[in-house]
Chain A
Amino acid sequence: MQLSEYGFSKHYPRLVIVPRGVVAYKKKKGVVKSMSINGKAYIAGVYEHPTRKAVDKSLAQLHAESALGALADAGLTKDDVDGYFCAGDAPGLGPLSLVDYMGLNLKHMDATETGGSSYVLHVGHAAEAIAMGKCSVALITLAGRPRAEGMATGTAPRNYGSSAPDVAFEFPFGPTVVNMYAMCAQRHMYEYGTTSEQLAWIKVAASHHAQYNEHAMLRNVVTVDEVVNSPMISDPLHRLDCCVISDGGGAIIVTSPEVAKSLKRPLVKVLGAGEAPKHQMGGKIDLTYSGARWSGPLAFEEARVKPSDMKYASIYDSFTITVLMQLEDLGFCEKGEGGKFVSDGNLISGTGKLPFNTDGGGLCNNHPANRGGLTKVIEAVRQLRGEAHPKVQVPNCDLALAHGTGGSLGTRHGSATVIMERE
């Protein structure tokens, strides 16, 4: 099998890519057939918990309420669920405590943890499990209450456990979420001439969308001037370059085609999924790109579509720079051109070429549990169903992408991309 058959090796010449989940084998007559998840699974239910501050609810309760919401959206009950997916925000031992709490009986479990991107990655894993016949109704949940718990989300160093091999070499220097992403922005500005004003356009676009979302934390439309004049948090990122901190949660139901077609909801088909980690490469650090450089081509290849086919994109938006780098890495524009691409409202629904995060995203709406991946899938599904707010609904939205980053762009992270189609 030649990598060039997959059509992306020439665009990513430094990389060796083995398509994930693709088993190619020669049949008689030399026909190459691939196994893939394309068309093997559907997103049948989604639910975004309306709370943004959950002092009066437990973490398990938020997971369960989200699960029930997504099941109701699909028209299913908890007894239909035979696969469950969760990540590091789930309380207890992997999936077990929540499975116990919700009283689920399962054939398949997966607690893959890649931070905020986990739930985008779980959609791909759920589609794989369904394609293999391991389950037919997969539930994915997320919840958290960083506000209720008074967590200093962005500006306090996080320690992922002293046995992590990197901790001694990093923790003493005070890496936080914001200063690590700030170093990415700083380097991107240095190499490509990206400006704070260009980054600000991303927040401006998100705020244009958030004004129509009654649940959004920040509903005021902001200007480029307001973003660049907001207080500097960590050079070059200002307060308004950062996402909101919110409690809440959400859930997704992924099903087999048979189950999806038996329900009354619009059909949203999973076309392709890609995932990839990016790390420090033993000290050959390059902060100007993300793992989307790998996860994106894998997903597009499996979906047999290209970036310019997308009518809508949900892009992980912990910070403005996160969006800009991922747009480049996913191939929506050339590397280094992200600043120009996002400027002048190009991400605003109805105005721009690529409507993004029409719920207001993590920048304005919701970033539950400091993990924005699940809500990225939810808004993409709303768009594909035609159920986004009328003011931001993309006309005839039949192809959409959701992309997540989890961990830190500044050190190590997991990237996950899912491409979906309205049938």
Chain B
Amino acid sequence: MTEQKRVFPTPIADPDTEQFWSAAKDNKLMIGSCNSCGEKHYYPRGMCPHCGSSDVELVQSLGKGVIYSWSVLRRAEPPFAIAYVTLDEGPTMMTNIIDCDLDNLKIGQKVELKFSPTEEENGAPVPTFKPV
């Protein structure tokens, strides 16, 4: 079954995540990076969930990764593939797999970033992934 385009709700930015969503409008996927412990995290936030430092910044992900897990919600209209993708930089993030054969997804499969537009005009796009 070929994946059909979903209508993605537009994410609501808050002061914590405004920078992330404005970078998304430039097709850049940002992840959290801690200057104190050096660990990356996702979703990005105002403190490091690993060490508790507030010395955190956004860094750009190259947008390459592998499927950690996936499921096709067959009851949805249209059916779609939700997934967790583990980025090459380390963190695992929730996303959708698009431009794919819904019957041929695999854990460990290589995927790459492709932003998907969202329903509101001028709304930020969301980071989705497609098979390499």
Contacts and interface: CB of A to CB of B under 8 A. Distances in A.
Nearest to B126: A172
A13 interface: no
A287 B96 CA distance: 17
Which of A167, A168, A171 has its CB near the most chain B CB atoms (within 10 A)? A168
A186 B92 contact: no
27 contacts: A166-B43, A167-B11, A167-B12, A168-B11, A168-B13, A168-B14, A168-B21, A168-B43, A169-B42, A169-B43, A171-B9, A172-B8, A172-B118, A173-B82, A173-B126, A184-B69, A186-B70, A187-B68, A232-B74, A234-B72, A235-B74, A280-B92, A282-B32, A283-B31, A283-B90, A283-B91, A287-B69
A282 B33 CA distance: 11
B14 A235 contact: no
Interface stretch (A42-50, A88-96, A175-183): A175-183
Contacts of B10: 172
Interface string B52-74: 00000000000000001111111
Interface residues of B, number: 46
Interface residues of A, number: 39
B9 A172 contact: yes
Given A172-B9, A173-B82, A283-B92, A179 B71 contact: yes
Contacts of B43: 165-166, 168-169, 283
A163 B13 CA distance: 10
A162 interface: yes
A174 B39 contact: no
A190 to B, nearest CB: 5
Contacts of A235: 70-72, 74
B11 A155 contact: no
A184 B68 CA distance: 10
Given A233-B74, A283-B40, A283-B42, A187 B107 contact: yes
Contacts of A166: 43
Interface string B27-57: 0000110000001111101001110000000
Contacts of B91: 282-284
A175 B74 contact: no
A183 B84 contact: yes
A168 B68 contact: no
Contacts, number: 118
Interface in B67-95: 68-76, 80, 82-84, 90-95
A170 B94 contact: yes
Nearest to B21: A168
A281 interface: yes
Contacts of B11: 167-169, 171-172
Given A171-B11, A173-B94, A186-B107, A234 B71 contact: yes
Interface string A200-243: 00000000000000000000000000000001111111000000
Nearest to B106: A190
B25 interface: no
Given A168-B13, A283-B90, A174 B76 contact: yes
Nearest to A287: B69
A168 B92 CA distance: 16
A285 interface: yes
B69 A187 contact: yes
Given A172-B10, A284-B90, A287-B69, 17 more contacts: A168-B13, A168-B21, A169-B42, A169-B43, A171-B9, A178-B73, A179-B71, A179-B73, A183-B71, A183-B82, A183-B84, A186-B71, A187-B68, A232-B74, A233-B74, A235-B70, A282-B42
Contacts of A176: 73
B26 interface: no
Given A169-B11, A179-B82, A284-B92, A234 B126 contact: no
A343 B93 CA distance: 33
Contacts of A162: 12
B6 interface: yes
Contact of A285 (B45, B84, B96): B84
A166 B17 CA distance: 10
